[in-house]
Amino acid sequence: MTDSTAHGRIIMDERRLSLTLERLCHQLVEKHGEFENTCLIALQPRGVMLGERLYRRLEHITGGLHPPYGKLDFSLYRDDYRTRARPIPVQPTVLDFLVGPQSIDGRKVILIDDVLYTGRTVAAALRTLYDYGRPARVELLVLIDRRFNRELPIHCDYVGMRVDALDEAYVRVVWATAPESGRVLLYPDRKAAENDLHQQQQQND
Amino acid sequence: MADTAHNQQSQLGTRHLLGIKDLTRDDIELIFHTAASFKHVLNRPIKKVPSLKDITVANLFFENSTRTRISFELAEKRLSADVVNFSASSSSLKKGETLLDTVNNILSMKVDMVVMRHPAPGAPHFLARHIDAHIINAGDGTHEHPTQALLDAFSMREKLGDLAGKHVAIIGDILHSRVALSNILCLQKLGARVRVCGPPTLIPKHIGSLGVEVSYDLRDTLRWCDVANVLRIQLERQDIQYFPSLREYSQYFGINRQILDALDKPILIMHPGPINRGVEITSDVADSEHSIILEQVENGLAVRMAILYLLAGRREA
């Protein structure tokens, strides 16, 4: 495995990613114990890929604990729905642990996303969450925190890795089809990331 | 690559919804995909999202409607849009104003979208050529009623899964029905086989050219189909007598419990409403476990929200 692709640099390889997921799970257990009143909610679409891997690892570490887990789509609450260059398709929200009139009232919620950048995603997710009730507490877990690029006063509680990069840089978390393996790449800009993805897709075809 | 596995279409190919004719299969799939999310929203304690808070929609109903108008209005409100309503009976139309003048006046008040029902076929197409707002056809004469066809197909899909190869019968007054034409076009785009059934006087002469089967035998049609979409006898559109009496119509083409029980498999019964109970279907069929008539109404709201949302979010090239 090389430490870079055609256009990007690998800042977290498979081994490091696996260790990081393990650490994040332990941090969650340390803080939430048996998860009596805590639920995990991954953000669609990319947070879900992290969320599912994290959840399996958590089940393994805790010896079969099944905290409530769901997926949240915030597209209907985006602040750039009508202004961004390309619309994003709506994804399903699945919160099966909320049955009947039960709401998120009084629960502790851990939101999961892959990269925390401007904070606008998380802000939209919070607006979405509030239409399901009034959580007692909301925490945020991210794999990558680009801490110097925030546009809103949003912070995270569990961090896989802090990345200090220029505004135009682009961080992509790439998950492999094999469970729990993947890596994180840093590109000089979004275009480089797209070129790289395009090339890899061509190789796969 | 797991992270962009699906290359989903993200916007509609058309800036108006004038008819099913203008939609591609991918457009229909995008509408259904989005409607499923809105159905989830409609089952939450808080049934409203802020997506269209900067949008104003005018509902122009030049023809009577209860269900469709309420459904659109509720869909708009659940998306946080501002809504203005207009109905022909209380308008300046009676004072001799033209359609274009009426609509231009409303648009000067900065309206972004127009939902229109009009007795003249092609009225929304005319409007689309002359004004800037997104137009949604809520029924134009005997031509098309695209949102009804989409909600019908969405409801069938929910019950039957993929519609490819499924048999759908449209029964009743095909001649005066905009629902029939939109349904035929929509179902064919989704790969279903369509048959129309009714008295010969109420079936358009050249309908076979659309690629549908024609039958005048209700029992045979019900044996053939997986879904029976039963249409209302539109007495208000009939200027001459197309059949001797309602009683005779219901004896030949009315669906009752006895006929359904004699079939060797359960079929879905649908109806776009309003029902003439005892004419095209009896009460015990309309209220039976076969009937998904009220689910159609619920899905109608979700499908209309999806269409408003997708049109409002469309980027112009």
CATH number at residue B286: 3.40.50.1370
Total-model pTM: 0.90
Whole-angstrom Cα distance, residue B52 to residue B60?
A: 19
Amino acid at residue number A106? G
- Tell me if B312 and A133 make a contact (CB, 8 A cut-off): no
Q: Using one digit for the tens of pLDDT, what is the confidence trace for A138-182?
A: 999 999 999 999 999 999 999 999 999 888 899 999 888 766 678
Interchain CB contact of A85 with B (< 8 Å): yes
Q: Are residues B156 and B284 located together in one domain of the fold?
A: yes
Q: Would you tell me the crossing angle of helices A46-61 and A14-32 to the nearest 10 degrees?
A: 70
Q: One of B145, B176, B193, B195 is an active-site residue; which one?
A: B145
Is residue B72 a part of any domain in this protein? yes
Q: Using one digit for the tens of pLDDT, what is the confidence trace for B139-168?
A: 999 999 999 999 999 999 999 999 999 999
- Tell me if A46 and B3 make a contact (CB, 8 A cut-off): yes
How confident is residue B5, by pLDDT bands cut at 50, 70 and 90? very low
Residues (pLDDT < 50) of chain A are 1
Q: B43 to chain A, minimum CA–CA distance in Å?
A: 9
Is residue B2 a part of any domain in this protein? no
3-class secondary structure, A19: helix
Nearest 10 degrees: Cα torsion B11, B14, B17, B21: -120
pLDDT the model gives residue A101: 60
Is residue B65 a part of any domain in this protein? yes
Whole-angstrom Cα distance, residue A186 to residue A117?
A: 13
Q: Are residues B138 and B98 located together in one domain of the fold?
A: yes
pLDDT the model gives residue A80: 85
Q: Is B68 a catalytic residue?
A: yes
Q: Are residues B306 and B283 located together in one domain of the fold?
A: no
When the pLDDT of each residue in chain B is averaged and rounded to a whole number, the result is 91
- Tell me if A77 and B4 make a contact (CB, 8 A cut-off): no
Q: Is B237 a catalytic residue?
A: no
The residue range of the domain holding B259 is 146-297
B316, pLDDT greater than 90: no
Q: Using one digit for the tens of pLDDT, what is the confidence trace for B214-264?
A: 999 999 999 999 999 999 987 776 666 888 888 899 999 999 999 999 999
Q: Using one digit for the tens of pLDDT, what is the confidence trace for B33-68?
A: 999 999 999 988 889 999 999 999 999 999 888 899
Domains, chain A, with CATH or none:
13-167 (3.40.50.2020)
pLDDT the model gives residue B19: 97
Interchain CB contact of A81 with B (< 8 Å): yes
Which of A43, A48, A72, A76 would best serve as a mutation to test chain B binding (most B beta carbons within 10 A)? A76
Q: Are residues B158 and B287 located together in one domain of the fold?
A: yes
**Chain B residue closest in CA terms to A194:** B4
Whole-angstrom Cα distance, residue B53 to residue B50?
A: 5
Q: Are residues B29 and B170 located together in one domain of the fold?
A: no
Q: Are residues B125 and B213 located together in one domain of the fold?
A: no
Amino acid at residue number B260? L
**Chain A residue closest in CA terms to B35:** A90
pLDDT the model gives residue B306: 97
Starting from the edge strand earliest in sequence, which strands make up the sheet with B213-215, in order? Answer: B213-215, B193-197, B167-171, B227-230, B268-270
Cβ-in-10-Å burial (0-12, 13-18, 19+) of B270 comes to: buried
Residue B22 DSSP class: G
